[in-house]
Structure 1
Amino acid sequence: MKLTAAISYREHIKKQLGGKFMDKSQKNKVSVIIPVYNGERFIEQCLNSVLNQTYENLEIICINDGSTDQSLKKLKEYAAKDDRVVVLSQENKGMSGARNSGMDIATGQYIAFVDCDDYIDVTMIEKLVDIANRTDAEIVITNILLFFEDTLQIKSFRDEPLYYSLRKTTFTLNQAPEMIKHVGVWDRIFQRDFIEKNKFRFIDKVTYEDAAFCIETEIKARKIALTPEHLYFYRKNAGGSITDKEKNNDNYKRDYIKVQRFIQEQLKQSDMNNEVWRAYLEYFFSYAIMHQKNATTFRFYRWFFRQVQSILAEQPKETTDLINDIKIKEYINYLKNNKLLQSYLKL
C-alpha cells in the first residue's frame, strides 16, 4: 500500500484496523512508535515496559520493517492481547522509513519513539506528559541510562549537572546550547501538532537520522523541558545497533557527513547564537575524530579528512575560537594546515 497524505492514510488505517485508533480520547493520548526489524530477542522486554506504563492512554504503533525472524509473530500476539497495540508491516525501509510510517498514522496529542532493543521505566510516559501539560513544551526530554548487554552493567551517560540545572524551567536551544550535544529521539516526547505544523520527518535511507531530527526540532522549538530522572534504558553491546556496527563500515561515516551537512544547513537558516554553534561544533568534531580514527583504508581516511576540512572552512573563526577541547583543537590544526599524514599517524 502506497503512503499518501498523512490524514487520508490515517483514516484508511483506522478503517483497516477496525477503529482501534478511535477508542480513546486523543487529548493527552501518546502515540508510542516502535520500529521493529529482526528484534525478536528484545521485543518482549521493550513492549512489556511500554504496556506496563502507569500512563494508560496510549496507542502503541509497531512498525514491522520487513523482519525475517519471529518479530511479526510476537507483535501479533501482543496485538491480540491488548487493543492499544497496532501492528503495521511494510517492506524494509530502514529506521527512518519505519518511524515516518508510524508518524503518518499516529493520532495522539504526543508522539514518543522507543527502539525495539531498548526499554523504558514504567513511569516515563506519565512523567513526561505531566511536564508537557504543565509547561506547554513542544519537546520534553528525559535522562537515560546505558544498559550493557554483555556485562549487564547500567551506567549514567549524560551531563548530570546540566540536566539538574534545567529541571525547573523551559528553555530554547539558544538558552541551553549544550543540549545540542545530547542527541536522541527516543528519550523524549513531542507535541504531534508541533511535528505536523513544521512537517518534520526523518531523512530517508541514512544512518544517524535521529541526529538530524533531534537537532532540527530543537532549533524550531519555542519551549523545551526536561527531567533529570533516568527513565530510558539504551541497550549497548548487543551486536545489532548502529554504534556496534559503525566502526568497520565506512558507509556509516559517509552518512555522518551527509546528516551533519543537513544539520548545519538548518542552523544557518535559524537565528542560533555563537554558543549554539560552538556546542554543535564540539559535538560534530568529537564524532568526526572517532570516525576519522576508524576509517578502514587510507584512501577513505583522506576522503573523510577532506570532507571535514571543507566543513571547517565554512565556519567563522570567532566560532571555532570558542572551542576549548584540546583534542578538538589539535584536530582542527591538522585540518587547517592540511596535515593529512600527520593526523593519520597520530590520531
Structure 2
Amino acid sequence: MNPSNALVSVIVPIMNAEPYLEQCLDSIEKQTYRNLEIILLNDGSTDNSLSIMQAHAARDSRIAVIDKQNQGYGATCNRGMDEAHGEWISVVEPDDWIEASMYADMLAFAADIEEAGTPLDIVKTPYWRIWMPDTPEQRKLNCSYKKRVNPPRQPFAITDAAHLLTHHPSIWSAIYRASFLKDRGIRFKEIPGAGWADNPFLVETLCQTDRIGYFDTPYYCYREETPEKSAAFAHKNTLLPLERWNDMMDVLERLGVTDKRILRAHNSRGFTYLSGIIEEVDLSHEEVREAAISMFERMDSDLVFSDNEVSPGCKRLFAELRGIPCPPINKLAYAKGLVSQGLYNLGINGFSHTLYNVTTYLKKRSARTGGK
C-alpha cells in the first residue's frame, strides 16, 4: 500500500479528561489527512468524558468508542492496538492536541523514504512543549531534542541517534507500523493508573528496528505538568520513575543491547529521574536510598565515570552509594557541556526561558545531587 493512502489507527486512552477532551478530539478530527480510524477508549471515567466521546462519534463515522472498566494506560493502549485495523498506529493522550498536518506530513515523509525501497517501521518527530499550561505564563516551546537528532542516513537504527533515549519518552510524537509491533510482540506494560507505561514502550520500539525515520518538525502539543503538580506527583509516586527505569533496563538486557551509546543514554535517564525525586524527597529516606543503590548497581561504573555529560555531583553520589572510589573528575569538560546546553536552549527557546532554566538549575543543583 502507498504510505500516503494508508489507514492510520489513532488510539486515545481516556480517563477523566473532560477539561481537555474537546480540544484533543477536535484536533484529530480536523487532520488534513482523512483516512483515519479513531479509537476512543473510556478507561472507567467518572466525569463526562464518555458523553463527550459519544457526541463526537455521533458526528464522525471514523470514531469508535469502547467503554471499559478502569485498567490503566498500558492495558487501555493494548486494547486499542487489538482493535486497530490500520497500517500505522498512533497514540494521542487526551489532554494534548495535534496540529492539522501531522499525519499528512508523516506519511508523505514515509512515502519519500520508501521510494528508495526500504519500508519504515517508525516515523519520529519532535514535539511542542506546552509549558505552564492553562496559566497566564503558558508558552509553546521546542522540546529538548529539536535540532539534535541528525542520523547519518535515513532510515537508521537508534545507535545512530541514541540521544533520543535521554529525553522525554514522547512515544506519541511518532507513528508505528502495525505489522512491526505485531511481529516483534511489542505491547505496553500493563501498570495500574498512568504508571509511565510509555517508558518501556520507548525502548521496545526504538531498539528493535533499523528502520526509523526522523524529520525535525514538531506537530504534537504536549501539555506539561506545572511545577506544583510535578512536586505533588513526586511525593505521591516517589519510586515510580526508578521502577520504570528498571523496566527499561530489563528490556535492554532481554534484547541483548550492549552498545555504549544506548547504555550511556539510559544511565543519563536514571540520573535525571533520581535527581527529580530527591529534589522533593530527601535521599535519607530509606526506600529512596535503597532504590537508588539498586539502580546504580545496574549501571557500568566505567560508562558513568567516563561520561562528561554526567555532573560531578552525580558521579560523587554514584560512587558513594556504590561504595567505590570516585576517580578524578573532569569538571572543565562538564562545564563546557553546560555552556553548550545554555547556547542550545537560547537558540531554540529564547533568552527568557533560558534564563529561567539557568536560575532553576542553580537553585536546585545541590538538591538534585543529594548535596554532593
Question: How high is the TM-score relative to the length of structure 1?
Answer: 0.83
Whole-angstrom distance in 1 between the partners of 2:180 and 2:238:
31
Instruction: Confirm whether residue 248 of structure 1 aligns to residue 231 of structure 2.
Output: no
CA contact (8 A) 1:30 1:57 kept: yes
In structure 2, give the amino acid aligned to 1:170: P
> CA offsets per residue over residues 10-51 of structure 1, 9 Å max, x none?
xxxxxxxxxxxxxxx996100000011111111111011111
CA shift, 1:70, in A, is 0.9
Cα distance between partner residues in 1 of 2:101 and 2:231:
29
Structure 2, unpaired ranges of 5+? 114-118, 326-366
For 1:112, what is the secondary structure of its paired residue?
strand
Aligned in 2, Cα 1:210/1:245: closer, same or farther, shift over 3 Å?
A: farther
Quick one: distance in 1 between partners of 2:300 and 2:227? Answer: 40
User: Is this contact kept in 1: 2:282–2:370, CA < 8 A?
Assistant: no
The residue that corresponds to 2:13 in the other structure is: 35
* Paired-residue identity, %: 24
Q: Residue 141 of structure 1 aligns with which residue? A: 124
Aligned residue for 1:218? 206
Distance in 1 (CA, whole Å) between partners of 2:187 and 2:282 is: 32
- Tell me what 1:268 maps to: 253
Q: Residue 248 of structure 1 contacts residue 296 of structure 1 at CA under 8 Å; is this kept in 2?
A: no
Q: Specify the SS of the correspondent of 1:154.
A: strand
Distance 2:93 2:171 in 1: 10
Q: Distance in 2 between matches of 1:79 and 1:219?
A: 36
Structure-2 residue corresponding to 1:121: 99
For residues 305-336 of structure 1, the C-alpha deviation after alignment (integer angstroms, 9 at most, x for no partner) is 22221232233333223322214323313323
Within a 5 Å distance, the mapping from 1:1-347 to structure 2 comes to 28-135=6-113, 136-147=119-130, 148-150=133-135, 151-163=137-149, 165-166=150-151, 169-182=154-167, 183-206=169-192, 207-237=195-225, 243=230, 245-249=232-236, 252-269=237-254, 270-295=256-281, 298=284, 301-324=285-308, 325-326=310-311, 327-337=313-323, 346=371
Q: What SS does structure 1 have at the residue aligned with 2:42?
A: strand
Code of the residue aligned with 1:36 in structure 2: it is: I
For normalisation by structure 2, the TM-score amounts to: 0.78
Contact 1:33-1:102 at 8 Å conserved across structures = yes
For the residues of structure 1 that align with 2:25 and 2:278, how far apart are their CA atoms?
37
Q: Relative to structure 2, which stretch is displaced further, 266-275 or 289-298?
A: 289-298
Deviation of residue 296 (structure 1)? 7.0
What's the counterpart of residue 13 of structure 1?
Answer: none
| Amino acid in the other structure paired with 1:287 | Y
Residues 167 and 56 of structure 1: CA distance in aligned 2, closer, same or farther (over 3 Å) = farther
Q: Secondary structure at the match of 1:174?
A: helix
Instruction: Label 1:330 to 1:260 Cα distance change in 2 as closer, same or farther (>3 A).
Output: same
Contact 2:123 2:174 in 1 (8 A): yes
Q: Return the alpha-carbon distance in structure 2 between the equivalents of residues 283 and 345 of structure 1.
A: 17
Instruction: Quote the offset at 1:133 in angstroms.
Output: 3.2
Number of the residue aligned with 1:17: none
The answer as to whether partners of 1:112 and 1:188 remain within 8 angstroms in 2 is yes
CA contact (8 A) 2:275 2:369 kept: no
Alpha-carbon deviation of 1:343?
A: 8.9
In structure 2, C-alpha distance between the alignment counterparts of 1:256 and 1:318, rounded to whole Å: 24
CA distance in 2, matches of 1:244, 1:146: 19
Mark the runs of 5 or more structure 1 residues left unpaired by the alignment. Answer: 1-24
Secondary structure of the equivalent of 1:146?
Answer: strand
